[in-house]
Structure 1
Amino acid sequence: MKTTHQIIFENSNNMADILSGSVDLVVTSPPYPMIEMWDEMFSEQSPEISRALKDKNGPLAFELMHKILDATWSDLWRVVKKGGIVCVNIGDATRTLDGNFALYPNHSRIMSQMLKTGFAALPGILWRKQTNAPNKFMGSGMLPPGAYVTLEHEFILVFRKGGRREFRKDDEKMNRRKSAFFWEERNAWFSDIWTDLRGTVQNLPDSKIRKRSAAFPFDVPYRLIQMFSVKGDTVSDPFLGTGTTLFAAMAACRNFVGYELEQEFRGLIFSGADHIVSYTNERIAKRIENHLEFVKERTREKGEFKHLNRHYHFPVVTQQEKKLLLNQLVSVEKIDENKMEATYSN
């Protein structure tokens, strides 16, 4: 089995290089409006944003920044297949302008725009980025009423284009079964609150790259790709950054095509391919190890399992897991300047 992984270093407000109706799943985390690290990037695309910030006009700057993102959300409607899923990881922003502290609700603004575009909203996920930093509490300390609630969570908004995807052919049904996840993974992944993930701290060598990178943890796209697509599907990320979604797609046996505005990320992304083979196979081994530990505990509590996985010959809870197969990543090769090919075990 092979997959291809292409990066287009252009603005994703016009994804002309992606064919209409060719993407099965989008997993992305855009620049967050009203987070200061993104001011320069947004202002470069619209001088009005820079003027609004200088004028301390937060609501106007917020709306203008989202107008930049709206163009990408609009083009997603074109590239996503009917029945395809879009997952947007986004955090709200807090900011003080001209002495006025306010929350800027990025998640609700994106939700509104996606609904206007035509997508249907599905139940989403909150994941907690809990921190023990002493300065996480904002405002007037222990004196009411000027203290503010901490902001330690992000939203994963989930949308679908049209109705539920169907698998009609026998080979499609078989591939779907091989793409299954474990019962206990389902219970954790499809809960509406994730508490077992932490934000990612990146050791990036270039100061300019550091200023424009805010990668989410690998497990965010890795889980979402397993949850909302099958092997061989095409995953896309219009705000690729340092390549987390690309590598998660590679680890999950999915094809990938994505956009990244910053050319400086090219070397960083392709250097990551040197490590993804071992990392993927370690993750697979860990998933199997965790499952075997689960089997041991459940057998002790509830007795023998009724079903056996056909590939690994270990117990599973449901019939849907009997053909589950975690393909190991064998190699990754660079095909051209912006494309890689991954090869997997059968």
Structure 2
Amino acid sequence: MRKEILIAIVVGVGVGIAVAFGIWRANSALKTNLPELPSLLQKQSPTEVPSEFKITLSQPEQNDVISESPVTVAGITKPASTIVILGETEDYVLETDNQGSFSQEVELTSGVNQILIAAYDAASENTQSKLTIVYSSEFAKDIVTPSVVSPTSKEDNAIREKVQEKLQAARNNPKAYIGSVTDKTLDSLQIKDESDEIQLVSVDPENVAFAKVLTKSTSKISFNDIAIGDFIVAMGLKNGNNVLTAVRILVTEPLETLNRRIVLGEIINIAKKEVTLQEKNGSEIILQFPKSWKGPDLDELEEENILFAFGEFEGNALNIRTIKVAEKEVSPTPAEE
């Protein structure tokens, strides 16, 4: 019996040694074939991706209500770009600074203002943005400051202070909801905007100013005069649920499709009241000049000038409102977005 036990122990030790030796050989082989651990964890240098060419506006914001004109339009884009701003009645051309910042005072017209902003770089790449704001000099007069009730406790005082802070923040950033009325209740309007989004307007008929504004006339109306299908501009203060508490509501004509255009091209022909531009893609555009426009006279232009032209298309011709000869080397046609 003792002999058998001794033999078993010897055999077990031998098997253990063999297994251990096999594991050691396998580990040695793996270490030989695998790359060093640091090389696996080494961070690869990222591929550089060019920044997107776009316009970021810092002021004003979309659908802001503005009580004074002019308004400062400011933002940032690619450095050393040419900025073109087409307002309702005036056009502006300026250059960004070395950081890409720009700022321009823009004249507004009463009501909804659709402003087209474009940036062009020297390689003819371009980006555009449309800003919609509402100018109402009467809006500030229509805001009623609520009476403040004396607090009865410190807790009430803290709550009222927070409410007042939120109200003041809203007053500093009034908004407009613009669209067609799709539903009406005793104290609210539901509208659909140009993006087909549904927006809710809270209405206190006793504390809201109503007016009907047409091309040649303006008249006071009441909440009862507003009907489903009317196109309205509701101005007021937006709460955290995106419900607009109305202060002033205008019933007006639907907005026209923005037809203002910016054209960049090389002058290839100058006639009495027409100039022909050739874009980089080879297409030709005829510029028609009215009795007056903003920019150089026709006799100041020369063939091969690179020209910015702003206006509205009528048929195949661009009715000119403003022209400007490019002061720096710019490729004659913006690249398609």
Same fold (TM over 0.5): no
Normalising by structure 2, what TM-score? 0.22
Larger RCO (CA under 8 A, 6+ residues apart): 1
Q: Find the structure with the greater CA-based Rg.
A: 2
Normalising by structure 1, what TM-score? 0.22
Higher helix share: 1
Higher strand share: 2
